[in-house]
């Protein structure tokens, strides 16, 4: 039996060996509470400090600007609700996009119910928001702009720097939040160059375990704490730090290649996949040229996504029909990008990791070709 092929890395990644080793180390020998002043606590605190430094180094920021969270959803909720509440006395306008992850999109719905005016910018056909839209939408009353760096379904890269420039040009008091869950560890990020005030990421997208993430909060920016209690994380996120998860994130970062060194290989893999899959009958590309090459979205016209992914699963190939958080619902991202419903209903998302190979792409393309051939025969009987 051939080995399993896993192409759903945007949903989650397999924990790497170093992440597991660091997690086990914390569980077995450094399991103290990092707030305790005895030797076990101090050992745990040292591990916590080193992990924070490792994250900060990837973002080119200060270690005190990193707050550990339970993952991307908590980070996004903390940033969005905190920034909105902080700015409420100065304005009630929020600018975001129509293609955000549910942890931002649903938070925006709630803020709208609380009286905020939420402007949702729609993507162009290439899946990205145009810079001009931000300059038109951001006004002096804007208190928050929230835009993801990489779309989780198409891989389209969004103009976050343009959003920062729009805020500055308008004179708005807005804070800029960026959901970088699909970007962190896969493309170079320097928060100062990006111009963001808040940025969120998640460990299980880069081969750490689930349940750990972080929020970058620019020095000098104050937002209300989302979780209150014992005052951990310098009072910005209460609760005893989840050291096993933090250790796994630290281990994953130790094993993670430099983004700029990994991108050329991933770009080559993405183009290889494009050539293999677009040679199959009825396949249309949904991911745009120039997207982050870890995400590959296509439609197999005439066949429903769920049917195709179930058929691929029989071949031992794991893919998805879109965001894992959508739980099988039609892709809002693709619909907002202007694709027809029948094309959206046929969408498959393949998402790669540094372990993905051309041989796996070949096996998947061959399997999909056989599935299409079998289905065509069945439909013509």
- Interatomic CA distance for residues 184 and 199, integer angstroms: 10
Catalytic residue among 61, 178, 318, 325: 325
Q: Is 325 a catalytic residue?
A: yes
- With 0-12 / 13-18 / 19 or more C-beta atoms within 10 angstroms meaning exposed / middle / buried, residue 190 is exposed
The catalytic residues are 325
């Amino acid at each position: 039996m051939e080995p399993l092929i896993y192409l759903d890395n945007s949903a989650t990644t397999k924990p790497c060996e170093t992440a597991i080793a660091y997690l086990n180390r914390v569980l077995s020998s450094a399991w103290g509470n990092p707030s305790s002043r005895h030797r076990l606590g101090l050992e745990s605190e040292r591990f916590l400090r080193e992990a924070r430094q490792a994250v900060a180094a990837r973002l080119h920021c200060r270690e005190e600007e990193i707050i550990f969270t339970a993952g991307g959803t908590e980070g996004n909720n903390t940033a969005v609700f905190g920034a909105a509440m902080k700015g409420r006395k100065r304005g009630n306008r929020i600018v975001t996009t129509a293609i955000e992850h549910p942890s931002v999109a649903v938070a925006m719905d709630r803020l709208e119910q609380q009286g905020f005016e939420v402007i949702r910018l729609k993507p162009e056909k290439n899946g990205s928001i145009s810079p001009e839209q931000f300059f038109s939408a951001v006004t002096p009353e804007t208190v928050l702009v929230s835009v993801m760096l990489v779309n989780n379904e198409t891989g389209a890269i969004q103009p976050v720097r343009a959003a920062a420039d729009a805020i500055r040009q308008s004179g708005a008091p807005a804070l800029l939040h960026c959901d970088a869950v699909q970007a962190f560890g896969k493309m170079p990020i320097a928060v100062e160059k990006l111009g963001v005030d808040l940025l969120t990421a998640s460990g299980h997208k880069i081969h750490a375990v689930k349940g750990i993430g972080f929020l970058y909060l620019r020095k000098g920016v104050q937002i209300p704490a989302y979780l209150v209690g014992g005052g951990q994380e310098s009072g910005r996120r209460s609760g005893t730090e989840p050291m096993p998860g933090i250790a796994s994130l630290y281990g994953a970062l130790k094993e993670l290649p430099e983004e700029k060194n990994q991108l050329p290989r991933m770009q080559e893999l993405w183009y290889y996949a494009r050539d293999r899959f677009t040679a199959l009958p009825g396949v249309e590309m949904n991911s745009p040229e120039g997207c982050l090459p870890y995400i590959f979205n296509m439609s197999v016209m005439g066949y429903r996504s769920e049917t195709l992914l179930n058929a691929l699963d029989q071949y031992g190939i794991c893919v998805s029909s879109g965001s894992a958080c959508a739980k099988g619902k039609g892709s809002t991202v693709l619909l907002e990008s202007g694709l027809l419903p029948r094309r959206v209903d046929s969408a498959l998302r393949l998402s790669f990791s540094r372990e993905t190979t051309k041989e796996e792409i070949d096996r998947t393309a061959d399997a999909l070709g056989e599935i299409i051939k079998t289905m065509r025969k069945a439909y013509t009987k």
